[in-house]
């Protein structure tokens, strides 16, 4: 992804995180004709899906590049509660996996399902209510710290917001701001470090409490204290939900139930860290070059 599209994507994800999202807004943000349509008679979803996810023989090209598949012959079954880490070189298709699950696009071939229901039969905003997203570059709004977190679940009361901040390891630094949780953030507000912004995004996801978590890990190095807080917060966040993480950190791949190694829109290997390392090949090379904390 180029810098521009990364920005657009974080915007979209922030939007998506606010439950309904709204295709019109996403279209506006992406400045692109929407590829997805809501079904006329969508399947009713339970209040909380279990979170089993499947990609079956998916082939997908972005509208602007109709001959170059970003995913090609991509099949992946993720069990309820499983944590899958996607790794691979730049352009391998990792972010595309998340975007298709968010139904920002539909594949040209193959099918995605959640709890056995084809995604195309679900209303996109109902689907997005069941997905929490922690983007690489979270959007911090010009609003109080409290309301920035509440964005994850607009009906949440102050106690729930503060509890989410605690679980996200954000309570300490927010309490220490001049006006605590009432401190204004964003434009002309208190400046947060990258690691603090990520913890705000984690707090939003804690508050949203969705069965499926999509996480695009930061590529940039963080100071050791921030790094450790984020790892602790993520460890709590992934408990009890299906998690798909575009992984850039050694700690994350070590903790994953399964690592999926991607190249050219396909899966080239999968397994646990030690086994993949021992097998050599692309994973061993990526581990050597890519993980920012290892």
Instruction: Please report, as ranges, the residues that interact with ligand ATP according to CB under 6 A.
Output: 1, 5, 62, 64-65, 70, 88, 90-96
> Phi, psi at residue 159, to the nearest 5°?
-65, -40
Q: How far apart are CA 130 and CA 20, in angstroms?
A: 10
Rounded least distance, CB 163 to ligand ATP, Å: 33
Rounded least distance, CB 204 to ligand ATP, Å: 22
Nearer to ligand ATP, 55 or 151 (CB): 55
Nearer to ligand ATP, 106 or 147 (CB): 106
Rounded least distance, CB 60 to ligand ATP, Å: 9
Rounded least distance, CB 210 to ligand ATP, Å: 22
Rounded least distance, CB 113 to ligand ATP, Å: 20
- 60 forms bridges with which residues in the sheet? 71
Nearer to ligand ATP, 35 or 79 (CB): 35
Alpha carbon dihedral 5, 9, 12, 13, in 10-degree steps, equals -170
Nearer to ligand ATP, 170 or 246 (CB): 246
Residues 6+ apart with CB under 8 A from 3: none
Nearer to ligand ATP, 1 or 277 (CB): 1
- Number of residues written out for the chain: 294
């Amino acid at each position: 992804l180029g810098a521009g599209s990364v920005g657009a994507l974080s915007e979209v994800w922030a939007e998506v995180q606010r439950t309904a999202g709204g295709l019109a807004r996403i279209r506006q943000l992406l400045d692109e004709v929407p590829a997805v349509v809501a079904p006329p008679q969508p399947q009713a979803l339970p209040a909380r899906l279990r979170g089993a996810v499947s990609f079956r023989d998916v082939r997908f090209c972005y509208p602007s590049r109709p001959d170059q598949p970003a995913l090609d012959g991509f099949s992946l079954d993720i069990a309820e509660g499983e944590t899958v880490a996607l790794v691979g070189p730049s352009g391998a298709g990792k972010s595309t996996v998340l975007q298709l699950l968010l139904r920002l696009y539909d594949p040209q071939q193959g099918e995605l399902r959640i709890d056995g229901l084809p995604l195309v039969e679900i209303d996109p905003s109902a689907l997005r209510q069941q997905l929490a997203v922690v983007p690489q570059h979270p959007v911090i709004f010009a609003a109080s710290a409290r309301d920035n977190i509440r964005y994850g679940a607009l009906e949440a009361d102050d106690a729930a917001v503060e509890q989410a901040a605690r679980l996200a390891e954000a309570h300490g630094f927010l309490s220490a701001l001049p006006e605590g949780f009432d401190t204004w953030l964003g434009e002309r507000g208190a400046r947060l470090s990258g690691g603090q912004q990520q913890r705000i995004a984690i707090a939003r996801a804690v508050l949203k409490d969705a069965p499926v978590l999509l996480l695009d890990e930061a590529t940039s190095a963080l100071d050791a204290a921030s790094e450790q807080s984020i790892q602790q917060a993520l460890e709590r966040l992934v408990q009890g939900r299906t998690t798909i993480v575009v992984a850039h950190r050694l700690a994350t791949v070590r903790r994953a139930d399964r690592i999926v190694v991607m190249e050219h829109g396909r899966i080239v290997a999968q397994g646990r860290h030690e086994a993949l390392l021992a097998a050599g090949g692309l994973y061993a090379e990526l581990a050597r070059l890519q993980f920012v904390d290892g």
